[in-house]
Amino acid sequence: MLSIEQLVTLFERFRKENSFQGKVAELYQPASYLMELGGKRLRPVFTLAAHQLFEDQIDRSLAAALAIEVFHNFSLMHDDIMDQSPLRRGQPTVHIRYDTNAAILSGDWMFAHTYELLSRYEPILAYDLIRLMNQTAVQVCEGQQLDINFEKMDQVTEMNYLEMIRNKTAVLLAAATRMGARIAGASREDQDNLYTMGLHTGLAFQLIDDYLDVYGVVTGKTTAGDIKQNKKTILYIKTLERADDADRTQLLELYQQDSPDKISRVVNLFDKYEAGDYLRRLTIEYSRQANNALQRVSVDPNRKSNFTSLLNELLNRNK
């Protein structure tokens, strides 16, 4: 069995062997640029590790793993335009480095290329993977739309927020995981279990991101970027829900403006109403569900060690 590190290496080799090429270079350069910026390759690793639960011949999952990573980067490329983000992984985003048209069109091409990669499989298998991709792509669009909607909404509930991150983030990790299992020939029940594991891991992962954005040790990320951008995360939602009238008014006002002490005042309110603790408990609950789903997968527990350590690492990180 390959280690996580070996899975990343295997994927990176395949990705480079399948670099974007064609007659119209301007279409592929922005895509290659974004893919080369790196990232954790979390989704491809989940695809390959899911396959490896069932058998060692995991090469067959590489095209699906790449498809998922290409789709992920497509969605980043378009989201960065919509969110007017100047940086991605510390480098200029595609619409800044090239221009908006390049980011739109190269993104569209990546979307098409996702389906090209999935169509490399034999018909019946390709059909299954493509249907899962369709459903996932629609959900990711819905998640991004909900995220945009929330900016203009006064009232966002915890359930709204969880639905948004489920669609925008978690379903892609879930689909990535399921694809590996499907390609390995896993039973439908095990595919379902692995989808559930990916989904809850994705939810917990995003919630940890939200937590660390405010409470984490400083990393490359802008600290408290969510507060600066008035993001209605669980921390905000829970504080608003629990706050007395005065604090509630104060928090609403803080999220309307850009005062110099905005971050510290917002964090004070989060702390006063123990929103961080609530978020941590929620995260632990999703982590537990992810682990439970992994336990239900009907393979020798020894084969699960990769995922056990992956989940442990992802869900107990502090940066």
- Interface with a second copy: number of residues (CB under 8 A): 38
Per rule CB under 8 A, is residue 91 in the interface with a second copy? no
Closest distance of CB 203 from a second copy, Å:
18
Q: Which stretch binds a second copy (CB under 8 A): 108-116, 191-199, 238-246, 301-309?
A: 108-116
**Closest Cα to residue 213, out of 319, 79, 102?**
319
Closest distance of CB 110 from a second copy, Å:
9
| Identity of the residue, 132 or 254, whose beta carbon is nearer to a second copy in the bound complex | 132
How far apart, in Å, do the first and last CA atoms of the chain sit? 28
Spatial contact of 71 and 88, defined as CB atoms under 8 Å apart: no
| Identity of the residue, 67 or 267, whose beta carbon is nearer to a second copy in the bound complex | 67
**Closest Cα to residue 240, out of 280, 278, 206, 275?**
275
Closest distance of CB 75 from a second copy, Å:
8
204 is written with which tokens?
A: 């917990």
| Identity of the residue, 135 or 316, whose beta carbon is nearer to a second copy in the bound complex | 135
Which residue type, as a one-letter code, is found at position 133? M
Binding residue for a second copy (CB under 8 A) from 3, 9, 101, 318?
101
User: Where does the chain have alpha helices with state H?
Assistant: 4-17, 25-36, 42-54, 62-82, 94-97, 100-118, 123-152, 158-165, 171-183, 188-215, 225-228, 234-242, 245-254, 262-272, 275-296, 305-315
| Identity of the residue, 127 or 187, whose beta carbon is nearer to a second copy in the bound complex | 127
Phi, psi of 231 (to 5 degrees): -75, 135
Closest distance of CB 128 from a second copy, Å:
8
- State which of positions 140-199 bind a second copy (CB under 8 A): 141-142, 144-146, 148-149
| Identity of the residue, 105 or 212, whose beta carbon is nearer to a second copy in the bound complex | 105
Per rule CB under 8 A, is residue 111 in the interface with a second copy? yes
